[in-house]
Amino acid sequence: MANVADSLTPLERRTTSALAAVFAMRMLGLFVVLPVLAVYGMNLAGSTPLLIGLAIGAYGLVQGILQIPYGILSDRFGRKPLIFIGLLLFALGGLVAAMSDTIWGVIIGRALQGAGAVSGVVMALLSDLTRESHQTRAMAIIGATVGLSFGLAMVLGPLLVDSTGLSGLFLFTSAMAVASLLLVLFYVPTPVAAVAPSRRRLVPQVLRVLRHQGLFRLDLGIFLLHMVMVAVFVVIPPSLELYERLPASRHWYIYLPVILASLVLMVPLMVWAERTGRTRSALLGAAAALVLSLVMLAMLHRSMWGVVASLLLYFTAFNLLEALMPSMVSRMSPAGARGAAMGVYSSGQFFGAFFGGLLGGGLSSMFSPAVVLLTCAALFAAWAVLAAGLNMKSRRRNLVLELPANVAPQAAALALLGVQGVLEATVVREDGVVHVTVDVARCDESLLHARLRALPSEA
């Protein structure tokens, strides 16, 4: 099975779909309160504009803080147990917020929801269960949920609050958490992994991730990408109201079609990058397109069609970057530290969203929307220059081997780990394969096949 088929296997499709649904719920939890909490939250006892802002930001802030610990623990104890814990906390937080009639109760509930910080663990599990040659495609599906979640939140938030109030909105998020937990439990397989003992130690594991220059550039990139996104949506909605007289309740008429169209445009670009192996070129092209879209927004934000054209380019570039960067993080991650690497990366997403609100709000209080947008363009252009130095070459290689029938997964993983040059082995029994990470300079691939053939069958 060294030759990889062009399409996702049925198990890969099922796994990707289920984990994409989980990821969509995570991002919807962040976005769905944005269009409504500032208005409806003022009816809660003790509400002030500052505390409303804290209720909105608490989710993203706690998420950013806890992504790294969740990722590290998932490397040690497995992905699915951490996902279960996170989803249960998310559901509990929704119940606390739903039953609260004070702003402090909602703040506590939102913080509890943020404590279910499993975005990085979900992406690490997806990487465990998909072949490296198809990870960009799988990550594209995950990444697309960010844009779709934002568009859906703009529509769903006001509708739910109008019919059920804030309590109904938070109960809806809890119901999604329970549904996601069932998806992971019944539709996502549990991989069996083994890692070289020298790579299991906690402190060296974390240090390898933080010192990795390529990972640092990608982590900084996702931080800036989400910071810019939130800053953009601090200044664009007021512009649409001021210059086009379009009320906030109808802004989704623009956002949702633009986001859907951008996904259609992004898919062929992502497939081209995956099939040709030009992910770095696609990354730099998307970064340049995003900078151009911000400059266009700065110049055309007073025009409805100018905003539409600029946002179409913006979200096409945004969604392509969301697809490419996590797959690159997965490939660069040190063996045995994929969860930690994805945790750091996901922290960048949520910290970026948190600081994007500060950046957009702070600058817009002193300068025009054009200045805010051009500042965002300059920041992302500086990152694009830094990203041009990304080195995609690696001494590591990821292989896909066929798992012999009736062989115990743990025995297969440990047996392969005993071959010189093998850094990590992950068995996906439901797909009948073993994903093996090797040091190409030290590993003889023929020994891997021989070791698997020599294993006894389960009793």
pTM over 0.85: no
pLDDT digit string (tens) for 388-406? Answer: 988 766 667 777 888 887 7
pLDDT higher than threshold 80 for residue 255: no
Report the 10 Å Cβ neighbour count for 280: 16
pLDDT digit string (tens) for 112-169? Answer: 998 988 888 888 888 888 877 677 777 777 777 766 777 788 778 878 888 888 888 8
Whether residue 219 contacts residue 208, with contact meaning beta carbons closer than 8 Å, is answered with no
Q: Which residue has the higher pLDDT, 241 or 51?
A: 51
CA angle 215, 217, 219 (to 5 degrees): 65
pLDDT at 141: 77
Query: What DSSP character marks residue 102?
Result: B
pLDDT at 224: 95
Packing angle between helix 213-244 and helix 369-387, nearest 10 degrees? 160
Highest mean pLDDT (candidates 27-36, 284-293, 343-352, 444-453): 284-293
Please give the distance of CA 357 from its chain centroid, rounded to a whole number.
Answer: 19
pLDDT at 1: 38
pLDDT digit string (tens) for 355-370? Answer: 887 788 788 778 888 9
Rounded CA-CA distance 125/121 in Å is 6
pLDDT at 381: 96
Rounded CA-CA distance 218/304 in Å is 33
| Ordered domains of the chain (ranges, CATH) | 10-387 (1.20.1250.20), 396-453 (3.30.70.100)
State the pLDDT confidence band at 287, using cuts at 50, 70 and 90.
very high
pLDDT higher than threshold 70 for residue 195: no
Burial class of residue 140 (count of CB atoms within 10 Å of its CB; 0-12, 13-18, 19+): buried
Tokens 């190409």, located at residue: 440
Query: What DSSP character marks residue 401?
Result: E
Tokens 């696609």, located at residue: 282
pLDDT digit string (tens) for 398-443? Answer: 778 888 877 788 888 788 877 887 877 888 777 778 888 777 777 7
**Backbone torsions φ then ψ of 47, nearest 5 degrees:** -70, 140
pLDDT digit string (tens) for 35-68? Answer: 677 667 778 888 887 787 788 778 878 988 998 8
